[in-house]
Structure 1
Amino acid sequence: MRNFIDALNSRVLLTDGDLKPTLREAAIDLKRATFGNDDCLAALNISRPDLVTAAHKDFLEAGADVIRTHTKEASIDALAKFDMQDEVFIINHLAAEAACLAVDSLPGGDRRRFVLGVADQSGASGTDNELRYGAYIQVQGLVSGGVDALTFKPVADLEQARAQLASARQALLELGSSVPLLLDYSEELDFTDDTVGDLVDGVCYVENGDTIKAGFPVHQVGQKILVHGGRSPQETSRLDTALRKKAADGYRPVTRPNVSPREAIVPVSSWNDYSAVANN
């Protein structure tokens, strides 16, 4: 049974795109569904998780291998703008459940699909204890909701970033979770993944879909490659087709030479489900 790191080490994987356009266009009273804060789309994880699940399913049906939880703007700092900071755990937990439900409700076909929990803590501020708590509570919510892996974007300052990542790791330890913690690396970070390598299981580097090449190489040891799925399911479908054409076996370009032409793919989504199967 392969896990997310194995898959990411073996193949170029295609993510979903941005859920916000779909959620904004839904036929609902958006202000009411977001508790009077129509700019706080993360609140839909509480009031309308069915809409979030449906938006995820659109991208899965378009060919995405990885769907990301609707939590990019669900950190304590982001929610505090709408006086919803006390809801950070439940919003992240329900977002993870909504994403896992989308994966579990569709047949895998020839794709092994995953739910990637998104923790964007790059805009966090406050004392060291506040930074640690923000990281801790968001990770607890995502993992308890069933994600397969976590991508964590810390602040730019190295020492503060290490404190955040250490707290995220502590949350995993307390839950007894083996979910991999990936550094969401970007150019604005003023440190390299080597400086936090003792706290993370890998690096999540998202490439623009337009730049993907056949057999896209891993840039450096430990770095993982994801291709952004585009702004819509339609764009994601076109990228899925393009990637399949560039792969010798019609599936995905490999990032490791010893990948067999056609792996046995089992469509298991959430960490809880994976753990149950792996222990059989």
Structure 2
Amino acid sequence: MRNFIDALNSRVLLTDGDIAPVLAKLSVDIDRATFGHPECLAALNISRPDVITAIHKSYLEAGSDVIRTNTAQASPVALDKYGMREETFIINHLAAEAACQAVDSLAGGDRRRFVIGVVDQSSAQGSDNELRNDAYIQVQGLVSGGVDALSFSPVSGLEQARAQLASARHALIELGSSVPLLLEYSADHDFTDDTVSDLVDGVCYVENSDTIKAGFPVHQDGQKILVHGGKSPEETAQIDHALRKKAADGYRPVTRANVSPREEIVPVSSWNDYSAISAG
């Protein structure tokens, strides 16, 4: 079965878009669903996982290849602001389950869609041990929930970033997981990719969708390209259409030479009859 790294190495992949704009159109009592903290959308993973799954599905129907878990605000430090630090593991676990349920509920057709666990530890604070513990808990929650890959944003300092990434790797080893750990690229990092290459499986570049208008940059080997979806499923469908127009086979632009448009795969639950889904 083709895995997430294989897909990233072969073609540009389109992520989902933002949750908040879609959520605003739904009849959800946000204050109640977030336990009185409407700015903490990660709380919805506990109270309304059905809503999160529905939003993920709307982006998949618009043409997204990759669903990002609703965990941008689910680090222990972020949740501590709302008195939910102790719920870090379960919030991340349920976020992964909600995303996986969305992917498995829709046919994938000529491709498999993926779930990437978002780990934003860039604002983490404390000693190396505290940094390690926070990274460990969040990664364990996401991987136990079923993600296909992890996108990790560490703090900007090299030594602390290595402590975080080493703990993330330790969590994967303890779970016996082969889920790839990707460093999310940031211009704020004051270290090079080579200094953490022993701890990660690659560097993930999330391109602005405006890149489509100018053509795609050719990154070096080992650098993984994702294109960010729109602010809504409708905008994402337009980006999907633009991506297909950039590809000779009407599928996705390749990022590696001599890649067949239809690699041999083993079917999975989300891989049937994509033609039934309107791509806009």
TM-score, normalised relative to structure 2? 0.93
SS at 2:259 equivalent: coil
Equivalent in the alignment of 1:241: 241
1:5-49 deviation digits (Å, cap 9, x = unpaired): 000000000000111222244312211111111111100000000
Equivalent in the alignment of 2:138: 138
SS at 2:171 equivalent: helix
Paired residues of 1:113 and 1:267 also in contact (CA < 8 A): no
Equivalent in the alignment of 2:254: 254
Equivalent in the alignment of 1:63: 63
Paired residues of 2:10 and 2:254 also in contact (CA < 8 A): yes
1:171-213 deviation digits (Å, cap 9, x = unpaired): 0000000000000111111111111000000011100011136
Structure-2 separation of matches of 1:144 and 1:208: 30
Equivalent in the alignment of 1:189: 189
In the alignment, structure 2 segments of 5+ residues that lack a partner are 271-280
Identity of aligned residues (%): 78
Aligned residue pairs, count: 270
Equivalent in the alignment of 2:111: 111
Equivalent in the alignment of 2:73: 73
Paired residues of 2:4 and 2:114 also in contact (CA < 8 A): yes
Equivalent in the alignment of 2:127: 127
| Cα 1:269/1:217, change in 2 over 3 Å | farther
Matches within 5 A, 1:168-179: 168-179=168-179
Structure-2 separation of matches of 1:207 and 1:139: 24
Paired residues of 1:53 and 1:99 also in contact (CA < 8 A): yes
| Cα 1:85/1:267, change in 2 over 3 Å | farther
Structure-2 separation of matches of 1:267 and 1:214: 35
RMSD: 1.6
Structure-2 separation of matches of 1:219 and 1:55: 31
One-letter identity of the residue aligned with 1:61: E
Structure-2 separation of matches of 1:69 and 1:268: 20
Structure-2 separation of matches of 1:136 and 1:269: 29
One-letter identity of the residue aligned with 2:36: G
| Cα 1:210/1:67, change in 2 over 3 Å | same
| Cα 1:55/1:265, change in 2 over 3 Å | farther
Paired residues of 1:113 and 1:269 also in contact (CA < 8 A): no
| Cα 1:204/1:268, change in 2 over 3 Å | farther
SS at 2:140 equivalent: helix
Structure-2 separation of matches of 1:88 and 1:25: 27
One-letter identity of the residue aligned with 2:114: F
Question: Per chain length, whose mean CA-contact separation is higher, i.e. which structure has more relative contact order (CA < 8 Å, sep 6+)?
Answer: 2
Structure-1 separation of matches of 2:16 and 2:267: 17
Equivalent in the alignment of 1:227: 227
Offset of residue 269 of structure 1: 7.1
Q: Does 1:6 align with 2:6?
A: yes
TM-score, normalised relative to structure 1? 0.93
In the alignment, structure 1 segments of 5+ residues that lack a partner are 271-280
Q: Does 1:156 align with 2:160?
A: no
One-letter identity of the residue aligned with 2:10: S
Segment of structure 1 superposing worse, 139-148 or 189-198: 189-198
Structure 1 runs, 4 residues or longer, greater than 2 Å off: 23-26, 212-218, 261-270
One-letter identity of the residue aligned with 1:22: V
One-letter identity of the residue aligned with 2:14: L
Offset of residue 109 of structure 1: 1.7
Structure-2 separation of matches of 1:261 and 1:28: 42
Paired residues of 1:111 and 1:267 also in contact (CA < 8 A): no
Q: Does 1:90 align with 2:90?
A: yes
Structure-2 separation of matches of 1:261 and 1:143: 30
One-letter identity of the residue aligned with 1:200: V
